Amino acid sequence: MSIAAQESAEEARKLFESVYAAAPAGIFAAPGRVNVIGEHTDYNEGFVLPMAIDRYTAVAAAPRLDGVLRVVSGQGDTGVIEIPIANLAPGERAGWADYPAGVAWAMIGAGALPGDFKGADLAFSSRVPVGSGLSSSAALECSTGLALAALAGKPISPAELARLSQYAENEYAHVPCGPLDQLSSAFGAADAVLHIDTRTFDIAVHPFALGEAGLTLLVMNTKVQHQHGESGYADRRAACERSAQKLGVPALRDLSFADLDRAAAVLDETELRRVRHVVTENDRVNRFVSLLQLGPLEGPRLNSAGELLTASHVSLRDDFEVSCAELDVVVDAALRGGAHGARMTGGGFGGCAIALVSTDRLDRVAETVSESLPQAELFTVVADRGAYQVL
Ligand code: ADP
Ligand code: MG
């Protein structure tokens, strides 16, 4: 049970009833996520450490019998969109409805929905900020997948939900994302972070009850989204794949610190910095997890954890070059205000940063950040459960 999910569920129900003039058959919710550490490692088969957050996309749903999928969203920029099931096929990118339509298409293709699936009415309501790096897209996909599977009476596992949601985003919405976001939304757990090996998809769950340790995770939404974000992401991905090829490894995940000397002889200067980010970031994830395994974050362990977060930001800023002025401003301000560590989270080029803060310093940190970037929207998050049927 998540109170945050229930609030969004109520909003989705109201939207459903007002738009479709009927009661939904069920309500489903999937969370956004904060990636605590491990950025731009997921498409290099490396390690990530996300948590699902207490902000959800809920969908109220009912089956149809006429072969039509209808979708509406409180956060969409359109009214109701009707898509005949027979027409589901990836084409030009059309808009927000590509995400739920893509999930239906992926599920039918994989046999997760029956071939004669007859359609559904879906109404979404979300408290995940849209387009800010907290994975509103994965929340939209995972809530859709859970709803459609339940309507069809074919339960779907979290692993399958994540896999088909990522497939839909890659192939139908044409966004070349790795598996991080969908795995976080599908597998999230209350008061826990997920240590995910994105090569094997092994997931280890570690306690992350920050409140009990007197800590708070502050999200700082810069409210900017830079134009070159999409091309920048594709460019970084390509540089990583090219470098792995030049170095004769299946993925950058296969490199260690010792390989960086060899890499210097084979790669150009930019490629070398991209590779160095991935190698050092994977190491930071695993060191962060080792700290968690030693017990609650306090004393020297807390200092070390904070330093790893900040080192991740510096590496993303200088070596991977996916930060931006606004993200750097809020990270620096949080640290000046007394945060233990801070970093951009998500793909970068705008969106959100996070800061690990002692709860008794929260006001001070928030004040410093607000003074430095008045437009920033600040809120705290806790780790909450992954996608589930609310009602
Ligand atoms: P992020 O996943 O970090 O929020 P993305 O760019 O990956 O950012 O996804 C944002 C896009 O997902 C939006 O532009 C919109 O098309 C779609 N989207 C996400 N959530 C919703 C929602 N609740 N209603 C309508 N569209 C949404
Ligand atoms: Mg997204």
Question: Could you please report the per-residue DSSP string of 217-234?
Answer: EEEEEEEEE-TTHHHHHH
pLDDT tens for 299-338 read 999 999 999 999 999 999 999 999 999 999 999 999 999 9
Structure confidence at residue 228 (pLDDT): 80
CA of 60 to the centre of ligand 2 (A): 21
Question: Is there an atom of ligand 1 within 6 Å of 131 CB?
Answer: yes
Query: What number does the ligand 1 atom closest to the CA of 134 have?
Result: 3
Query: What number does the ligand 1 atom closest to the CA of 95 have?
Result: 16
Query: What number does the ligand 1 atom closest to the CA of 137 have?
Result: 2
Sequential DSSP letters for 299-362: HHHHHHHHHHHHHHHHHHHHTS----HHHHHHHHHHHHHT-SEEEE-SS-SEEEEEEEEEGGGH
Catalytic residue of the set 181, 191, 268, 384: 181
Token readout for 316 is 């993303």
Q: What percent of the chain has pLDDT over 90?
A: 97
CA of 299 to the centre of ligand 1 (A): 39
Q: How far apart are CA 369 and CA 391, in angstroms?
A: 39
Contacts with 157 (C-beta within 8 Å, 6 or more apart), sequence order: none
Contacts with 227 (C-beta within 8 Å, 6 or more apart), sequence order: none
Query: What number does the ligand 1 atom closest to the CA of 129 have?
Result: 4
User: Which among 90, 104, 381 is positioned nearest to 215, based on CA atoms?
Assistant: 381
Domains of the chain with bracketed CATH: 3-207+385-389 (3.30.230.10), 210-381 (3.30.70.890)
pLDDT tens for 340-359 read 999 999 999 999 999 999 99
Question: Is there an atom of ligand 1 within 6 Å of 172 CB?
Answer: no
Which residue, by CA, sits nearest to atom 9 of ligand 1?
Answer: 137
CA of 308 to the centre of ligand 2 (A): 25
Q: 116 catalytic, yes or no?
A: no
Work out the end-to-end distance of the chain between its first and last CA atoms, rounded to an integer number of angstroms. 10
Pocket test for ligand 1, best of 98, 130, 170, 231 (most atoms within 8 A of CB): 130
Which residue, by CA, sits nearest to atom 16 of ligand 1?
Answer: 96
Predicted interface score ipTM higher than 0.90: yes
Q: How far apart are CA 302 and CA 357, in angstroms?
A: 10
pLDDT tens for 61-115 read 999 999 999 999 999 999 999 999 999 999 988 899 999 999 999 999 999 999 8
pLDDT tens for 218-262 read 999 999 998 887 889 999 999 999 999 999 999 999 999 999 999
Question: Is there an atom of ligand 1 within 6 Å of 229 CB?
Answer: no
**Burial category of 193 from C-beta neighbours within 10 Å (exposed 0-12, middle 13-18, buried 19 and up):** buried
